[in-house]
Amino acid sequence: MKLSVDAWLSGFAGVVIFSGSLPATRAAVVDFSPLFLTSARAVIAASLAAAMLAMFADQRPARADILPLCVVALGVVVGFPLLTALALQTITSARSTVFIGLLPLATALFGVLRGGERPKRLFWIFSCLGSAAVTGFAAQSGGFSGGMGDPLMLAAIIVCGLGYAEGARLSRRLGGWQVICWSLLIASPFMLALALACLPQQWSSIGSGAWVGLAYVSVFSMLIGFVFWYRGLALGGIAAIGQLQLLQPFFGLLLAALLLGEPVSSAMLIVTLAVVACVAAARKFAR
């Protein structure tokens, strides 16, 4: 089955939005605790989600959807944000791109396990090649760290892949934006209680960078990005659209170059072209 341009554009928009998540989280954890950041971003996003559902929702989740929505909430509302926030206390956002390169594989694997997808053998070959290219480049650029930062990022990738696959499966029936909105609402009572329990002791000491980081991960990473991402996964397939995540580390580096003046090396351009080729080839053999 030929994948639609709409699916790829939706997935691409989600990846571009998500590319700013780790740098924004890194900026936020300078002054916010990981527990407060994780819970606050979820509460803010849930408030927006409640308004969206009140105005635009045309159906409620069925009883059978509640458990899958809880899985989505645990994966992308609680698990990935908390684990990455904890990890980014000890490693840089650049180093965390080592693990983002593994996210397409995790998403594809859970797409097989939970979504019933069956990509061709060549899909897995090109997927592994793309992941190896991203991981190798990131490792060469930033290296691997000791301590708990790397294991926390690895755990984050696993729970995120599960949340992506489960959310995509639900999106085929509920719609992408409704899946993330209902997941946020399900998690909101617990996250609100956690946010109140972890309030910063001195608000005046929180810098502008932390506030900007919190705003970005709350509105874009936690809500708007998922509207596009789940739509793309539902329309184009979990395994196929998930390969677009291979581009996410490079968008992050591009943002760093544009906003922070960091140089873009020739190696980055070469690897980016290689990854684009792998994504195109994986797309061909995804179904």
Confidence at residue 1, expressed as pLDDT on a 0 to 100 scale: 46
Give the pLDDT band (50/70/90) at residue 23.
Answer: confident
Longest dimension (CA), the chain: 56
Read out DSSP for 25-48?
HHHHTTTS-HHHHHHHHHHHHHHH
Per residue in 29-44, pLDDT (tens digit) is 989 999 999 999 999 9
Distances 45 to 41, 135, 141, 175, 208 between C-alpha atoms, Å: 6, 31, 34, 18, 20
Please name the helix (run of DSSP H) or strand (run of DSSP E) that holds residue 268, with its range, or none: helix 266-284
Pair of tokens at residue 6: 């709409």
CA atoms of 243 and 66, how far apart (whole Å) = 28
CA atoms of 162 and 186, how far apart (whole Å) = 17
Interval 249-264 mean pLDDT: 66
Pair of tokens at residue 247: 């581009």
pTM confidence score: 0.82
Q: Are 11 and 247 in contact (CB under 8 A)?
A: no
Confidence at residue 131, expressed as pLDDT on a 0 to 100 scale: 73
For the chain, how many helices (H) and strands (E)? 15, 0
Q: How many CB atoms lie within 10 A of CB 148?
A: 14
Name the DSSP class of 58: -
Per residue in 161-202, pLDDT (tens digit) is 999 989 888 988 888 789 999 999 999 999 999 999 999 988
CA atoms of 46 and 39, how far apart (whole Å) = 10
Confidence at residue 224, expressed as pLDDT on a 0 to 100 scale: 95
Confidence at residue 94, expressed as pLDDT on a 0 to 100 scale: 66
Pair of tokens at residue 62: 């069925």
Distances 143 to 24, 35, 93, 100, 146 between C-alpha atoms, Å: 21, 27, 12, 14, 10
